[in-house]
Amino acid sequence: MRSMNALVTAAALPLLGGAVQCHAQWSDDATVNTLVSGDQEQCAVSHSIACPDGGTWIAWYDAGAGYDIMAQKIDASGTPVFASPIQVLDQSLSYVQDFDLCAAGTGCAVATADGANTEVICIDGDGSIRWYHNFGDGGGYHANAQVCELNDGFIAAGWMDEELSKVHRIAEDGSLMWAAPVELSDSGSLSMSDLQPSSDHNVIASLVAWTTFTGPKRLKAQCIRADGSLVWAVPGVSVFTSGSLQFGNYPEFIVDDAGGSIFTWYNTSDLQSYVQWIDADGTIAMGSSGLQVLSSGNLLHTGPSACFDATTGEATVFCTRLTSNQADRGVQAARVNMAGDLLWGTAGVEITAVGSSGTPHDMHAVQQGALACVGWLNLDVTGSGTAHSAALSSTGASAWETLMGGPDADRSDLSLVSHDDMLVASWLDGRDGSDRAWAQNVNNDGTLGGSAGCEGDFNSDGEVGVEDLLAMLAVWGDADAQVDLNGDGEVGVEDLLALLALWGECG
């Protein structure tokens, strides 16, 4: 087992250089993005998370001296906070498993498993180590570690340990809140898939269940109270009971604002995407095997990612749309409420047309105010391609579609997070012959770069004024998502009143 003193020394060394002295800013050019990983040239498997101070933590494996987890924080202006990336964990592995990342106040927490151990480490906003835990027990095989920040500021960590899964609750100071991890088990295997915070300081776990190696892989869910007791009956709620996940697929899920959870997946038997909504009591809303979100002729729909609009109580699901031979692909979206209504019809809304000019990869959905947003990599068969994002209003009207990273480069591992005034995307690419981590912002109007604007400042001149009023009047009665301030699908009187309330200089 690694000693705490050795870990602290290794992780703290990069901080001696202090914060970056030069001031960078988000680029308005999709070919000139923010370099996150500095001199590191062999980055792999990246994740990002938004912080309440407007910053974004980005973490990855550095393969330069064995696979060690590194991290950098980008502030709201697009400036790397630390002179060089922080070494979060000195693993020096010859292989990688996926890891997970969550916010911890203005800092972050990382969870990773290496087969024998599950390690969770918390970094403060200044880059120093707040606490560290190793949950290795010298026994079973550990994999698929997950971590999330709870509504009370505590951290929940989860992992697979042989045929069962375990969850622990950690206080802000690193104290373990339970005498032992909560164990989640079933008649077969129950593997950790994802963790998300819920109401009343609870945590919800998504779990992949199966009884035989070649048998169907299905999802179950369990909710755990702050005292470690289970909210739902053992072994948990079945998200779906027919069909199967693809082998090795561990889908993420999202939560609503009422203690419920929204699961998306695609079924290997028909290559269609499904959604299931579970309320805070553990009641499923969409039948025993979920609701198919898109249906259009012989087209297939895979790789779903969802976001939740708290204003309307609706979820938007983005999918890759494919022809039956999977030769041509595009991006499609569906909108659903808890009653199971497909609000944009069974065909959904087209983001990009089905065609042969690339395949969407690493699709991530986030809610940004009234807009449902999605980011993806558009790659060819060699992995070379570009990074994109798009946004839809609650009615399905297009707000914008933006190139974030180009021209073509070998790209992977796109993540997308939401802040109050912009999105931040990060990914890995080899544009200079090395695999480095990069980031790019997208403003609420779909533009890139620093913005002097604010809500209602449609021309981004730093002031809500006459030109913005004229812009609103020019689209009066239309479904222009950029000008539709209240997000009801039509530019009208309520939007005008909102604009007048914002009148004057930004800030």
Half-sphere exposure for 53 (CA within 13 Å, toward CB):
18
Please report, for residues 143, 232, 298, 319, 458, the alpha-carbon distance to residue 273 in angstroms, rounded to integers and kept in the order given: 26, 26, 14, 7, 36
Average pLDDT across the chain, whole number? 92
The interaxial angle of helices 493-501 and 466-474, nearest 10 deg, is 170
pLDDT at 273: 98
Among 95-109, 182-196, 402-416, 479-493, the range scoring the smallest mean pLDDT is 479-493
- For the cut 60, the answer to whether the pLDDT of residue 4 exceeds it is no
Quote the pTM value.
Answer: 0.86
pLDDT at 387: 98
Among 67-76, 131-140, 340-349, 371-380, the range scoring the smallest mean pLDDT is 131-140
Within its chain, how far is the Cα of 184 from the centroid?
A: 24
DSSP string of 337-405, one letter each residue:
ETT--BTTTTT-EEEEEEESS-EEEEEEEEEETTEEEEEEEEE-TTSEEEEEEEEE-TTS-EEEEEEEE
Digit-coded pLDDT (tens) for 331-362: 999 999 999 999 999 999 999 999 998 999 99
**Identity of residue 204:** I
- For the cut 70, the answer to whether the pLDDT of residue 18 exceeds it is no
